[in-house]
Amino acid sequence: MLNDIFIKPFVDMVEAPDFLLQVLWEGLVSGILYALIALGFVLIFRSSRIFNFAQGIMVVFAALTLVGLHEMGVPAWISVGLTLAVMFVLAVTIERVVLRPLVGQPDIILFMATIGITLFLIGFGEIIFGGENKVMITEELGIPTDSVVLEPWGGLLILEQKDITAVVVAALLVGALLLFLNKTRMGRAIRALGDDHQAALSVGISLQTIWVLVWFIAGIIALVTGIAWGARAGVSFALEVIAYKALPVLMLGGLESITGAIIGGLMIGILEKVFEIYWGQPLLGGNTETWFAFVLALIVLLFRPQGLFGEKIIERV
């Protein structure tokens, strides 16, 4: 038994390095998508102290809107633009109808409001788009669907081109987001609001404008994530469950850390895949990916409650 836990998995990795690379690649693809979703949570929490329970359904709603518009005869890339417009209208509506009237209310009230947004988007989405599974318009968007076959160490490594595209686009989006937050006036305003609400408001930063902006950015992230996940697993309301895999990423990386969201997503994506293949399937019958990330995050929280990259909170009594 001890041999199966501590020795055999590492022997298998050494004996089949090409298969290990395949596992690491699959984990990397999942991890960067987890990180994207976690970024949506982090941005909204930093700017408004709201844990956005609706981020998962925003991924589904954005993907369904894109596919639904294309099914109506709208060209693929025009559908992308219109979907972004829909996500902007959604951001403005949420700020005007939900958030603005609740300014100053306890955090739990704002959290419950995002649950209400989730339920509304589920019902509204089912009315508009129906509840059946849909196929992502991968080829129409110009996303390649072939495979790249490599032979490292004389073995076999298969890279799906749609996964390569997802990784590249996600990396570019993260890079653009970091540049926006660090180099632009509005980006610095978002960071200032996250660092100190009262100080930011006192120098004239508009809370309403920032809220609309961060919810719209979360909508852009949701659309990119919806396209990437939809290309892999189809588009349905079950996609919302995948989005909640970002929760252990937040627990691991910290609710306010953009760096933590990125690194935490990559860590969880890779580690859960490696654990599933080398320990989960041989010893536990598989399906460990459904719970491994949460157990890992719980272990981290036992020793570092603020997460690996969160700031330690010191309260003076």
CATH code of 93's domain: 1.10.3470
Print pLDDT tens along the chain (317 aa). Answer: 778 888 999 999 999 999 999 999 999 999 998 998 898 888 888 877 788 888 889 999 999 999 999 999 999 999 999 999 999 999 999 999 988 888 778 888 988 999 999 999 999 999 998 888 899 999 999 999 899 999 988 889 999 999 999 999 999 998 999 899 888 888 888 777 766 666 666 666 777 888 899 999 999 999 999 999 899 888 888 778 777 788 899 888 888 888 888 999 999 999 999 999 999 998 888 889 889 999 998 898 888 887 777 666 555 55
Which range of residues forms the domain containing residue 227? Answer: 2-303
Closest CA to 39 of 272, 217, 197: 217
100: left (phi over 0), alpha (psi -120 to 50) or beta: alpha
Return the pLDDT at 290.
87
Alpha helices in 141-206 (DSSP H): 161-183, 185-195, 197-202
Domain presence at residue 238: yes
- Crossing angle of helices 76-93 and 207-233, in 10° steps, is 140
Domain presence at residue 110: yes
| Count: domains in the chain | 1
Q: Does the CA dihedral 285-56-226-228 come out positive or negative?
A: negative
Domain presence at residue 317: no
Domain presence at residue 198: yes
Domain presence at residue 308: no
Return the pLDDT at 169.
93
- What's the CA gap between 211 and 216, in Å, rounded? 8
The pTM score is 0.90
Q: Would you mind telling me the total number of residues written for the chain in this entry?
A: 317
Return the pLDDT at 194.
65
Return the pLDDT at 210.
86
Q: At CA 36, angle to CA 296 and CA 278, rounded to 5?
A: 40
Check: CB of residue 313 under 8 Å from CB of residue 306. Answer: yes
Return the pLDDT at 185.
86
Check: CB of residue 113 under 8 Å from CB of residue 98. Answer: yes
Domain presence at residue 312: no
Return the pLDDT at 198.
64
Domain presence at residue 276: yes
Domain presence at residue 24: yes
Q: Which residue has the tokens 């100053």?
A: 104
What is the end-to-end Cα distance of the chain in Å, rounded?
Answer: 50
Return the pLDDT at 311.
64
